[in-house]
Chain A
Amino acid sequence: MENIIFYQHYWWFLVSLLAALLVFLFFVQGGQSLVYQIGKTDSEFQLLLDSLGKKWELTFTTLVTFGGAFFASFPLFYSTSFGGAYWVWMLILFSFVIQAVSFEYIHKQGNLLGKSTYKAFLFTNGLLAPILVGAAVSTLFFGGEFIINRGNIVDAANPTISAWTTNWHGLEAVWGGTTHFHLWNVVLGLAVFFLARSLGCLYFINNIDNNEIRSRSRKQLLINAIAFLVCFLPYLINLLFKDGLTEQANGVLVVENYKYFHNLLANPWLIALLLVGVVGVLYGFIIGSFCKKSTKGIWFSGIGVVLVVLTVLLLAGFNSTAYYPSNTDIQSSLTVSNSSSSLFTLRTMSVVSLFIPFVIAYIWYVWRKLDKK
């Protein structure tokens, strides 16, 4: 039993780390959402495109790997969230479909839709993906509208184990007009969007040696970084004061006041991680906006973002917390222990996870080679 608890937490950590890296890599989407504002001329736009074009696949691949890893380690989340919040995931995927062709096709002759359409595709992905992924992440705290009954599998008339209880299928989380709407989901969606744009600016400053682009990126960085902080800080404060669900030893879930704050106190190393992360993000923003010669802000903010997102997601899953609360039936809520794969699968997958440092090493090596002037 102790053994599986270790692997469940190890995999929650890995999935959280992948999500954190994904949010950092959203600098690609942030950059795409800025193509109209920073790439004013054709040649400037081309510089942005060349720069982002070398990195977009990594964001894309991280998303796919995140999906696969979540499926393998917490299949009940995969089936409940993807099968329930259908529209949110479909819109996210749709935005990535149109992104994947755009970098390759935008300048090719015979591309049917014309350059401006592919440019709009890139913008659409840059807008939709961060907002929707941010909102989806927020449902890890604010819950979804689902019920789970494993016994249904033997009910031939209705064998569905996880079922969504609204017809909005995920859109209720970000759409007004229903009783299931949570403003905070929208707030986190916007926070991730502005964060992606801020990181996009920092990336351009670092990667493109062009004074006009750097100057516009610094201006945009300041605006977007402020917008990000205006959205994210209230979200974080609210989170720390909000109720959550705790799983008791018998598997029953109960409401606990200040759950996420308690989680933070129970794991003091998370406080350190969060503080270092916040300082890193802010320092990167400051040197990116105000130090005209500095191009290194992306590294500080990037690492900071990874640490902050990692902390937030660990708060969601560690300490017997329901990381995907059900707003319809509390006892259907998902925790790392009631939704994970078996010990054997988690252990097997853990062996595979040892490849990850090797993967990071070769990505780093190739990036350096390709960025050589």
Chain B
Amino acid sequence: MDLSLIDWSRAQFALTAMFHWIFVPLTLGLGVIMCIYETIYYRTGDEKWKRLAKFWIKLFGINFAIGVATGIILEFEFGTNWSNYSYFVGDIFGAPLAIEGIVAFFLEATFIGVLFFGWDKVSKGFHLASTWLTVGGATISAWWILVANAWMQFPAGMDFNPDTARNELTDFWAVALSPVAVNKFFHTVLSAWMLGAAFVIGISSWFLLKKRNEEFAKNSIKVATLVGIAGIVLTFWTGHGSAQKVAKYQPMKLAAMEGLYEGQAGNELIGFGIVNPAKTLDNDKDAILLKIAFPKMLSWLATNDVNAFVPGIKDLVYGNEEHNIVSVEQKMEYGKVAQEALRTYREAKKTDNSEQAAIAQATLNENMQSFGYGFFHDAKEAIPPVGLTFYAFHIMVILGGYFLLFFIAYWWLNKKGILAKNKLLQLLGLLSIPLAYICSQAGWIVAEVGRQPWAIQNILPVSASVSKIPTTSVQITFFVFLAVFSILLIAELGIMLKAIKKGPEE
């Protein structure tokens, strides 16, 4: 398989997914906040809350449109660029996407119309219900897409069928409610609340900075900081859950997140450090330079036990008998045995040799869990890009910590009236918006770069998932999407800035 085709296909997916993820968290986070504003209006009948809700709904709409535009590509890209993957696991993976369409998309698409066109046409209660249903639809949509994503990281609820040469669903609930999916959903959606809150606080800080609509800004901040606090606290909590799931099901990802080459009991957690570019699997150089570390905390993070053993990249590649870790080379052997057994099975079926088919199937079943390793040529292929995963993880955690302090502080500063008077704090509020986006994107980089080279953990690497199309075709579409999405993003920012400058309607 042409390596450049794989890399360009990955680049295109990364590009389109990251663009899409600029808009989705704001839809989810700002959505909940504007629902609360409108709920307060519904309960109090106070027009100032309606004005507030209408302003944020306007910004929500600007963001929503481009979120929809960038989202359609992703669903179809599984087919256009990852067709082998689509066949190999389509029996399982297609279902969440279809359910997302039937259950969630129509809900969003239908009720968002009421949000914008219904103020004078429907009752207050119906409008409020529509606002919640739109955001509820977006959140349910996130559930199903994250179920699909979680399944790729932790494949469950399926069996391999050698007759159709694909994995087939055997337990729907094992997929829909897998522990990885549940955790991923809450971690992702709650982090989106954090981003939405940072957005509202940042824009409101700008109004304070400009000494415009100050009452409006203070009321906006009051609700947003509380949503932000709830969001970030729960994001940390589910982040701990995520780390434990990663430790259990994707230990190589965890090792890359920490730049950990040699595992040990009671492992330290690196607060921040610099990855040594000269470090390789086979030399003894230090992996991390200039680090700030917390003793034993990685073991706690991964297992809740400060003395637990956390394997490093070397343990995982070369194996570690003491801790029952099988080497990648050994798994490659198992994988090749599985693939050979599948080949034998299919030949035996063609010649109606049922005895041989039964033996081959037994061998296949025995080795199926390492099927994907059979595609490797070198054990080192199992290692994800360490530097990118490490930095993304630490940037995410550091910014997460920053936002925990930020939301608590701004809630208090706003309550005491200090924020309204202090320009520096207002500026910091505004500048925190891009930090929230960086934090959010970093989280996805950890999840997706850290799981390389797998499309489906242990079962199918990206090299065996890609569509067989000319590399130049993917290069062309990559640059077309880059250009179009960039232009649309600039347009979106321009519209958003104008709408913000205009401020809430009097």
A interface residues, Cβ below 8 angstroms from B: 54, 57-58, 60-61, 63-69, 71-73, 75-76, 78-84, 86-87, 89-90, 93-94, 96-101, 103-105, 108-113, 150-151, 153-154, 156-164, 167, 169, 341-342, 344-345, 348-349, 352-353, 355-356, 359, 362-363, 366, 369-370, 372
A78 to chain B, nearest CB (A): 5
Please choose the segment from B62-70, B260-268, B412-420 that sits at the chain A interface, where 4 or more of its residues have CB less than 8 A away: B62-70
Q: Which residues of A contact B92 (CB under 8 A)?
A: 345
Given known contacts A108-B62, A349-B98, A93 and B469 CB-to-CB distance under 8 angstroms:
no
Closest Cβ neighbor of B70 among chain A residues: A97
A153 touches B484 (CB 8 A): no
A-B contact pairs, 24 of them (CB 8 A): A64-B105, A69-B102, A78-B83, A79-B83, A82-B80, A83-B84, A83-B467, A89-B79, A90-B80, A94-B480, A97-B72, A98-B484, A104-B65, A108-B499, A110-B498, A110-B499, A112-B490, A154-B340, A157-B1, A158-B468, A161-B87, A345-B169, A355-B102, A370-B118
Name, among B81, B90, B92, B170, the residue most crowded by chain A CB atoms within 10 Å (CB to CB).
Answer: B90
Asked if B276 lies at the interface with its beta carbon under 8 angstroms from chain A, I say: no
Asked if B164 lies at the interface with its beta carbon under 8 angstroms from chain A, I say: yes
A57 touches B113 (CB 8 A): yes
Given known contacts A97-B73, A348-B95, A104 and B101 CB-to-CB distance under 8 angstroms:
no
A69 touches B98 (CB 8 A): yes
A44 to chain B, nearest CB (A): 19
Closest Cβ neighbor of A69 among chain B residues: B98
B470 touches A344 (CB 8 A): no
Q: Which residues of B contact A108 (CB under 8 A)?
A: 62, 495, 498-499
Task: Count CB-based A-B contacts (< 8 Å).
Answer: 282
A205 to chain B, nearest CB (A): 21
Q: Which residues of A contact B497 (CB under 8 A)?
A: 110
Counting chain B residues whose Cβ lies within 8 A of the other chain, the interface size class is 35 or more
A233 to chain B, nearest CB (A): 32
A71 touches B169 (CB 8 A): no
A67 touches B75 (CB 8 A): yes
Instruction: Tell me, in angstroms, the Cα distance from A163 to B5 when the chains sit together.
Output: 15
Given known contacts A61-B105, A86-B80, A169-B473, A72 and B495 CB-to-CB distance under 8 angstroms:
no
Q: Which residues of B contact A352 (CB under 8 A)?
A: 95, 98-99, 102-103
The prevalent SS among residues of B at the interface is: helix
Asked if B270 lies at the interface with its beta carbon under 8 angstroms from chain A, I say: no
- Add 20 more A-B contacts to A68-B102, A72-B90, A366-B114 (CB < 8 A): A54-B113, A58-B106, A68-B75, A76-B90, A79-B84, A81-B79, A83-B83, A84-B467, A86-B467, A97-B72, A97-B484, A153-B342, A154-B340, A156-B374, A156-B377, A169-B469, A352-B99, A359-B102, A370-B113, A372-B121
Instruction: Tell me, in angstroms, the Cα distance from A366 to B112 when the chains sit together.
Output: 10
Closest Cβ neighbor of B133 among chain A residues: A362
Asked if B165 lies at the interface with its beta carbon under 8 angstroms from chain A, I say: yes
A154 to chain B, nearest CB (A): 4
B114 touches A369 (CB 8 A): yes
B225 to chain A, nearest CB (A): 29
Q: Which residues of B contact A167 (CB under 8 A)?
A: 470
Q: Which residues of B contact A75 (CB under 8 A)?
A: 86-87, 90-91, 94, 166
B161 touches A164 (CB 8 A): no
Closest Cβ neighbor of A76 among chain B residues: B87
B87 touches A82 (CB 8 A): no
Q: Which of B103, B118, B469 contacts A86 (CB 8 A)?
A: B469
Instruction: Tell me, in angstroms, the Cα distance from A103 to B65 when the chains sit together.
Output: 9
Q: Which residues of A contact B65 (CB under 8 A)?
A: 100-101, 103-105
Given known contacts A108-B499, A109-B495, A349 and B84 CB-to-CB distance under 8 angstroms:
no
B90 touches A79 (CB 8 A): yes
Instruction: Tell me, in angstroms, the Cα distance from A322 to B113 when the chains sit together.
Output: 40
Q: Which of A96, A113, A162, A369 contacts B121 (CB 8 A)?
A: A369
Given known contacts A89-B79, A154-B339, A65 and B106 CB-to-CB distance under 8 angstroms:
yes
Name, among B97, B107, B161, B470, the residue most crowded by chain A CB atoms within 10 Å (CB to CB).
Answer: B97
A65 touches B98 (CB 8 A): yes
Asked if B110 lies at the interface with its beta carbon under 8 angstroms from chain A, I say: yes
Instruction: Tell me, in angstroms, the Cα distance from A113 to B491 when the chains sit together.
Output: 7
Q: Which of B90, B97, B346, B487 contacts A113 (CB 8 A)?
A: B487
Q: Which residues of B contact A87 (CB under 8 A)?
A: 473
B88 touches A342 (CB 8 A): no
B194 to chain A, nearest CB (A): 26
A123 to chain B, nearest CB (A): 17
Q: Which residues of A contact B73 (CB under 8 A)?
A: 93, 97
Instruction: Tell me, in angstroms, the Cα distance from A50 to B32 when the chains sit together.
Output: 27
Asked if B168 lies at the interface with its beta carbon under 8 angstroms from chain A, I say: yes
A86 touches B102 (CB 8 A): no
A104 touches B62 (CB 8 A): yes
Interface residues of B in 332-356 (CB under 8 A from A): 339-340, 342-343, 346
Instruction: Tell me, in angstroms, the Cα distance from A68 to B90 when the chains sit together.
Output: 10
Q: Which residues of A contact B469 (CB under 8 A)?
A: 83-84, 86, 164, 169
Closest Cβ neighbor of A372 among chain B residues: B121
A114 to chain B, nearest CB (A): 10
